[in-house]
């Protein structure tokens, strides 16, 4: 088994989760200590410990999502800090709201510190608002009782998008495109073009939504 691992290590065919399965087999079935496994696989003991916890402390549903690529290894490493009963719902919230790795880490930390189940549920439904407050953004109640869960998610996304747009505008105002090198231009030009397309599409959708609201209110 160690030889098979050696032939597939360094990203040439074995994922971190598959590595974790090898470690578990060596520790549990072959009864090697973590130190022995570390020596056998040419890794530090802490590497063995992390791989073992990934496969033994991770909720089965999260393991399945990791196998099929629905969540990333980074998300799995974060949610494993939580009790198994909470891991799947937190992982699903991270995936549903398309949080970055850094935001996923912050959400897990906030979830760990939540005072009660109601606060946990608010975090799962509106992570954008909680993360915005953590960054010093607009302070809004985590959940508006006047709105459905779906519209509360929309509300949170509007706030976070407005904040992100303001930050992007500030960065663009400071940028000096005339001084960029050819390499920098080749990297940033398609990203900016994609952002322009997304902004135009978003502006059209916002305008259409506002028009529909005005029609519904009888203002036209």
In a domain, 157, yes or no: yes
104: which 2 tokens? Answer: 């996923």
In a domain, 209, yes or no: no
Q: Which of 156, 164, 152, 151 is nearest to 195 (CA)?
A: 164
Which parts of the chain sit beneath pLDDT 50? 11, 220
**Residue 156 pLDDT:** 80
In a domain, 181, yes or no: no
In a domain, 93, yes or no: yes
String of b and e for 24-42 (b: at least 16 CB within 10 Å)? Answer: bebbeeeebebeebbebbe
- Which structural domain, as residue segments, surrounds residue 116? 86-175
**Domains: count for the chain:** 1
**Residue 11 pLDDT:** 46
Q: What is the mean pLDDT of the chain?
A: 83
């Amino acid at each position: 088994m160690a030889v098979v691992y050696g032939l597939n290590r360094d990203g040439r065919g074995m994922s971190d989760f598959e590595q974790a399965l090898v470690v578990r087999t060596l520790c549990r079935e072959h009864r090697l200590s973590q130190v022995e496994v570390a020596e056998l696989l040419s890794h530090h003991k802490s590497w063995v410990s992390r791989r073992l916890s990934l496969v033994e402390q991770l909720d089965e549903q999260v393991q399945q999502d990791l196998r099929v690529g629905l969540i990333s290894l980074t998300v799995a490493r974060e949610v494993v800090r939580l009790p198994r009963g909470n891991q799947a719902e937190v992982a699903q919230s991270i995936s549903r709201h398309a949080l970055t790795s850094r935001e996923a880490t912050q959400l897990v930390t906030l979830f760990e510190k939540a005072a009660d189940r109601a606060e946990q549920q608010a975090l799962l439904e509106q992570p954008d608002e909680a993360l915005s407050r953590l960054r010093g953004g607009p302070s809004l109640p985590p959940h508006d009782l006047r709105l459905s869960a779906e519209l509360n998610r929309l509300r949170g996304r509007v706030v976070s998008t407005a904040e992100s747009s303001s930050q992007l505008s500030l960065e663009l105002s400071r940028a000096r495109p005339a001084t960029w090198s050819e390499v920098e231009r080749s990297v940033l030009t398609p990203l900016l073009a994609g952002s322009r397309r997304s902004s135009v599409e978003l502006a059209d959708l916002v305008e259409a939504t506002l028009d529909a609201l005005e029609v519904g209110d009888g203002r036209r």
